[in-house]
Amino acid sequence: MAYNFFIDSDIFLDVLLDRKPFVEESFELFKAQYNKQAQLYTTSSIILNVQYTGNKLLGKSIAKSAIKELLVFVKICLTDKNILTKAYDSGFSDVEDAVQYYSAASDKAIDFFVTRNTKDYKLADEHLKIITPNEAIKILS
């Protein structure tokens, strides 16, 4: 069975920036997508945030090329006015985190929300479970 994982910006940044020791676990999710064990989802705002960070740390050309390669592996969740309103009305301390969560939660295909920053999602509803990359790998094995 293939699982559907929403991946947060930290997962992309781990892979893009080769952040040790996190890159290995995060890269496993992309390998699972490649091997058709998983489908990965994210939002356009995560891609743009990763691009911004990549530009600063790697340079525009390298970041653009690398992100273009990573885009092959993901589907993009839609973010509309209703999701933005939910995010601003929520109790999340970081509106950007709320936007990511509600974008993922609105796509009924998504099984899990994967992030290393699980503490940022304590207000998440129970129907979309927040897990770490390590937990996602265990689910896949």
18-47 pLDDT, tens digit each: 999 999 999 999 999 999 999 999 999 999
Please tell me the predicted confidence (pLDDT) of residue 42.
96
Please tell me the predicted confidence (pLDDT) of residue 70.
87
Backbone φ, ψ for residue 100 (5° rounding): -60, -45
CATH code (residue 72): 3.40.50.1010
In the chain, % of residues over pLDDT 90: 85
Please, what sign has the CA dihedral across residues 113, 119, 124, 125? positive
The tokens of 136 are what?
A: 């996602």
The tokens of 2 are what?
A: 């293939």
Domain carrying residue 44? 3-140
The mean of the pLDDT values for the chain is 93
Please, what sign has the CA dihedral across residues 71, 76, 79, 83? negative
Domain count across the chain: 1
pTM of this structure: 0.92
47-87 pLDDT, tens digit each: 999 999 999 999 999 999 999 988 888 999 999 999 999 99
User: Which residues on neighbouring strands pair with residue 129, listed in sequence order?
Assistant: 112
